[in-house]
Amino acid sequence: MRRTASPLSLILLGLGAFMLVLAPMLAWYVEPRAKRTPVDIDTITVFKGKGSYFDTEKIKTVHDKNLTVTRQVRGDVADSTKEHAVWDVVTSIDPDKSLPASDPHDSLQFTTERWVTDRETNKPVHCCDEKPYFEGEAYLKFPFDVQKRSYTWWDNTLGATVPLTFRGTKKIQGYEGYRFTAEVKAAKTGTRLVPGRLVGQPKRSNVLAEEWYANHGVEFVADKRTGRIIYAATGPRKTLRAPGSDKDATVLLDSERIAFTPKTQKAQVKLADDDSSRLKLVGETLPLGVGVLGVVLAIAGGVLVVRGRRSDSGADGRGGSDGLDGPGGSDGPGTAAEPNGPHTDTSPTPLQPTTM
């Protein structure tokens, strides 16, 4: 009787085949769908540095003062969708004397924004009461899988995009990311009604002065896999000019460099590392491990099936089987035994198995 393959061999083959199918699905289907901008976030980043600012109490610009930029990003889960992420952003710039600010309007500068982006590509989405209207590729984060190329960054103070140049890699708190830099040349960003003496026209009570903005240097270090910014530095310069003048008359804000504090760096690195590790697990580690295990199980199951069939074939080919050698056959009782040979009733033939 011919036997079928053992259940164990079939189970191993089935598991191996399943894992060989699952591995590419994890890499090509599951992992891309895990790369989505989160919506349930509430993070605070803090920048610190030194610089100059216009003191409204002293009515003059003061220099070499501590400056703190605080930014809170909170996701609007209710308004976000599977495709769009809605983030509400509050940013304040403060000298030491307005920290902690009991009223945000005590700050040198206080802004509220509403950013809406495509959760997969990080491109702007113009809906859901966005504020301001913006363009570009990088804002509060970079797209997933950051590349070694230039990106367009939206500078909200300028109200336009700025090209970011790739500058290699940089380690922040021991964690490596891609570094990008940019400079912003002085540009007119608006007008403001101010006393004439602030722009060199003391005989005029009020002048519609021009607001100008520049940036000494912007630097970002982004996590390669998630696009999360683990380090940021900026050097804003805001001034007033008399109408039509090409010279700054009053400095409103000026700092060579305001950057993430060490505490903020550590927090951002931890978030980036955690998110990146999860994406790597789904996109690389699990597919590779599942694929290798699938190959091993499939080979093991196949070997067991082949060995089982060979064993069955050997058992079915025993001599004297199938009734071909009966009493009238050549090996029956009527056949003379070979001289000095073993007794046919006690010794096995070459085709008969022995028991050890």
- CA distances, 248 to each of 21, 183, 197 (Å): 66, 19, 13
Q: Residue 270 has what DSSP assignment?
A: H
Tens-place pLDDT, residues 26-57 = 555 555 556 889 999 999 999 999 999 999 88
Higher pLDDT, 156 or 354: 156
Mean pLDDT of 211-238: 97
DSSP string, 76-144: -TTT--SSEEEEEEEEEEEEGGG-S-SSGGGSSEEEEEEEEEETTT--B---TT-BS---SSBSSSPPS
Confidence of residue 337 (pLDDT cuts 50, 70, 90): very low
pTM of the model: 0.74
